[in-house]
Amino acid sequence: MHLVTVATQLDQWSLDFEGNCERILRSIAIAKSRGAKLRVGPELEIPGYGCLDHFLEGDTILHSWEVLATILQSEEAKGIICDVGMPIEHKNNNYNCRVIIHDGKIAMIRPKMWMANDGNYRELRHFTPWHKHRQLEQHSLPGMIRRITGQSHVPFGDGVVSTEDTVIGVELCEELFTPASPHILMGLDGVEIFTNSSASHHELRKLNRRIDLIKEATMKLGGIYLYANQQGCDGDRLYYDGACLIAMNGQILARGSQFSLSDVEVVTATVDLGAVRAHRTTSSRRMQSAQAEAYQRTYIDTRLDGGQGIRVGDEETKGSSEVTYHTPEEEIALGPACWLWDYLRRSRTQGYFLPLSGGIDSCATATIIHSMCRLVADAASKGDKQVIADARRITGEPEDSTYLPTNPREFASRIFHTCYMGTEHSSPETRKRAKDLAEAIGAYHTDLNMDTAVSAVKGIFSLVTGKKPQFAVHGGTSAENLALQNIQARLRMVVAYMFAQLLPWTRGKVGSLLVLGSANVDESLRGYYTKYDCSSADVNPIGGISKTDLKKFIGWAETKFDLPILGSFLDAIPTAELIPLGADNVAQSDEVEMGMTYDELSVFGRLRKVEKCGPYSMFGKLVQEWGSFLSPTEIATKVKHFFFTYAINRHKMTTITPSVHMESYGPDDNRFDLRPFLYPSRFSHQFKKIDALAENLPDRTTQPGADKTKLD
């Protein structure tokens, strides 16, 4: 028998109950228009996944029931089984639930059993896991729902839903990733369709893990897997990357976009349950199935094939085991760009302002904005009404305007503002690069010198103290040298916010701009930036991306976006341009000042966070990895220097600008990387252990044929 199934991805927004309800109903209407009888939506789609501590408020649960009441009474939800997500209080505990509804009634409520509580996830803070496996209880419905459904109580717990022609089981997000996933036992007990409602966020090079697990699950068990995911920025540092899909027997039948500006996306597939049953005829599977413990079933009096058995003219969707993925460079171009668009339109501001230094980091930020403008232009060209409406509002167009943002450079000239903030230490080369890049992408560009402001602050200090600080090249101490650099950097932040508030006014517009920061993940980890400088901004699109990946992205964008100017940024030596040139006339170099390369920083960051290494275990791992070209003593020096500089700068993470999460070793102190910010910076015990071990290890670099050139 053939049936049509649906998985959706929605760009929900935390606590936007009316908007979330509208998007849910729209997705159901699209599903029905395609002949579907089963619709699955993202995790906690009614209130939005990112409500965080608002989940502890009774109001959030109350308003979720009110939205569910609207859905139950809607024409859209008639004649189709809908799997909808919301928080529910049961016996004074909050649960993350799926509510299975059909024709104005609730069939079952399935609470989440295994919580995501690592990295960016803190579900145990807000929800209780359901640990009564294969057990159902009765849940007392609120009065507003009783009056609609005529039900006083409904099944609540770990059960499955049976229709006339198949059995449906629910698996919730993290449960797919656990070693003993629920789909295994459900599949052995006859469940043929698995639904997974997720709120899985984007991270570079991560999507394949999710898809591989779904393929493996349906290959081993046989079955149809409907994976629905949230997409977009719902008010936090995460970009949920969609990629909803339908899989059957190890084949991917349909898949949604990973990056999109669309609020609602629905994928459908026409599948044959007979193929699932044929896949399950292996002897070993039948033996395990016969021994499987039974799930309690709730029943819905309907057929997913619409009662037709064979749907004449509905060709079965063909699957493929091959899956294509975006390259990391494409992920950088698309993920932060989509997140920035959501942030811009939902903050109801008039655009972005970027201090454009002529260096590669601010260049990367500007290029991501260019990518955002390209996505807007593409969506507008395809007639996306929501994107067009948002673009008109952001640009200040009247309600009856016919403006279409179909040219990315023209659109950028309206919403993207850049400024080169030079001092006496800035070079003509960086000033020209900034101007040329702004012109290439269409930004509204300004150029200024800040020497007057810097001199004024230095003058105030000298007037009060009677002391005149000097740079190191002029005989000043390291404290003087650092303070004179920091005042330039911090004044740039002050000027940036002044310009962001008033530039629209100077152009005859109303409103203000969001300030963009440009500190990459490696510099944040090392603390190589000034606290409250122009890295302090409203949002930072590259704060979760390594310098190494940013360089590759710029090289890719030079060709892909036809921006030849980007090549000059790749060729330039990274420099802050905050100090005078020395006697050798050599400019300030970031890597020389940091005492480590960006490639080394990426390695340190991954070992510290992903491999969970302290100083001693990091040294042990790097002796294995780097021992052929660095001596144990040299490796020890590098590890100790990293941890010392990391420790003395960790306090900066408490004020870091919110950035879209992209990298598994990000140091964001808000939720992802929880650490002290006052360290014993000398790590005396750990460093002594490292030194003792280094002295006793052989130096392989002295052996014949050893390569002492560089890190790979």
Active site residue 173: yes
Active site residue 591: no
Q: How far apart are CA 199 and CA 5, in angstroms?
A: 20
Q: Determine the pLDDT at residue 700.
A: 87
520: left (phi over 0), alpha (psi -120 to 50) or beta: beta
Burial zone of 557 (CB within 10 Å; 0-12 exposed, 13-18 middle, 19+ buried): buried
Q: Which fold has domain 3-322?
A: Nitrilase/N-carbamoyl-D-aminoacid amidohydrolase (3.60.110)
* pLDDT of 543 strictly over 50: yes
CA atoms within 13 A on the CB side of 613: 21
Contact call for residues 483 and 465 (beta carbons, < 8 A)? no
Least confident range of 97-111, 376-390, 439-453, 588-602: 588-602
How does pLDDT run across 321-347, given as a tens digit for each residue?
678 999 999 999 999 999 999 999 999
Contact call for residues 136 and 159 (beta carbons, < 8 A)? yes
DSSP string, 38-91: EEE--TTTTT-GGGGGGGGSHHHHHHHHHHHHHHHHSSTTTTSEEEEEEEEEET
Tokens in use for 542? 């590259």
Closest CA to 511 of 376, 395, 399, 373: 395
Q: 252 falls in which pLDDT band (50, 70, 90)? A: very high
Q: 312 falls in which pLDDT band (50, 70, 90)? A: very low
Within this chain, domains 3-322 and 326-572 share the same CATH topology:
no
Burial 487-526, CB ≥16 within 10 A → b, else e: bbbbbbbebbbebbeebbeeeeeeebbbbbbbbbbbbbbb
**Average pLDDT of the segment spanning 614-632:** 96
Of residues 377 and 592, the one with the higher pLDDT is 377
Arithmetic mean of pLDDT over the chain: 93
What percentage of the chain reaches a pLDDT higher than 70? 96
Give start and end residues of each alpha helix (H) in 292-327: none
Sheet order of strands, 2-10 included: 136-140, 153-157, 105-111, 93-102, 81-90, 38-40, 2-10, 264-272
Catalytic residue among 173, 244, 338, 534: 173
Tokens in use for 485? 């650099």
Catalytic residue among 112, 215, 640, 652: 112
Which residues contact residue 604 at a Cβ distance below 8 angstroms, ignoring those fewer than 6 apart?
Answer: 525, 596, 618, 639, 642, 646
CA atoms within 13 A on the CB side of 452: 3
Active site residue 331: no
**Average pLDDT of the segment spanning 166-174:** 96
Q: How far apart are CA 529 and CA 486, in angstroms?
A: 9
Catalytic residue among 14, 27, 197, 357: 357
Cα–Cα distances in angstroms (integers) from residue 515 to residues 68, 417, 539, 660, in the given order: 38, 9, 7, 15
Residue spans of the domains in the chain: they are 3-322, 326-572, 590-711
Q: How far apart are CA 422 and CA 357, in angstroms?
A: 8
How does pLDDT run across 72-112, given as a tens digit for each residue?
999 999 999 999 999 999 999 999 999 999 999 999 999 99
How does pLDDT run across 5-43, given as a tens digit for each residue?
787 889 999 999 999 999 999 999 999 999 999 999 999
Q: Determine the pLDDT at residue 310.
A: 44
* pLDDT of 360 strictly over 70: yes
Sign of CA dihedral 528, 530, 534, 536: positive
Instruction: Name all contacts of 276-283 with Cβ < 8 Å and 24+ positions apart.
Output: 276/192, 276/222, 276/223, 276/224, 276/248, 276/249, 277/192, 277/222, 279/222, 279/223, 279/249, 280/221, 280/222
Closest CA to 471 of 455, 484, 452, 488: 484
What percentage of the chain reaches a pLDDT higher than 90? 86
How does pLDDT run across 214-245, given as a tens digit for each residue?
999 999 999 999 999 999 999 999 999 999 99
Q: Determine the pLDDT at residue 311.
A: 46
Tokens in use for 96? 């993350």
Tokens in use for 564? 């030849």
Cα–Cα distances in angstroms (integers) from residue 106 to residues 74, 430, 558, 634, in the given order: 14, 63, 54, 66
Q: How far apart are CA 685 and CA 163, in angstroms?
A: 64
Diameter over CA atoms, the chain? 92
| Beta-bridge mates of residue 620 | none
Q: Determine the pLDDT at residue 88.
A: 98
How does pLDDT run across 412-424, given as a tens digit for each residue?
999 999 999 999 9
Active site residue 51: no
Contact call for residues 240 and 200 (beta carbons, < 8 A)? yes
676: left (phi over 0), alpha (psi -120 to 50) or beta: beta
Q: Determine the pLDDT at residue 500.
A: 97
| 3.40.50.300, 3.30.1330.30, 3.40.50.620, 3.40.50.20: CATH of 326-572 | 3.40.50.620
Helix (H) or strand (E) holding 490: helix 478-506
Q: 592 falls in which pLDDT band (50, 70, 90)? A: confident
Q: How far apart are the first and last CA of the chain?
A: 55
Q: How far apart are CA 145 and CA 136, in angstroms?
A: 20
Least confident range of 281-295, 471-485, 599-613, 694-708: 694-708
* pLDDT of 385 strictly over 90: yes
CA atoms within 13 A on the CB side of 51: 28
Strands 105-111 and 93-102: antiparallel
Tokens in use for 558? 């030079």
Closest CA to 448 of 468, 491, 419, 424: 419
Amino acid at 58: G
Catalytic residue among 43, 45, 174, 663: 43
Q: Determine the pLDDT at residue 534.
A: 78
* pLDDT of 151 strictly over 90: yes
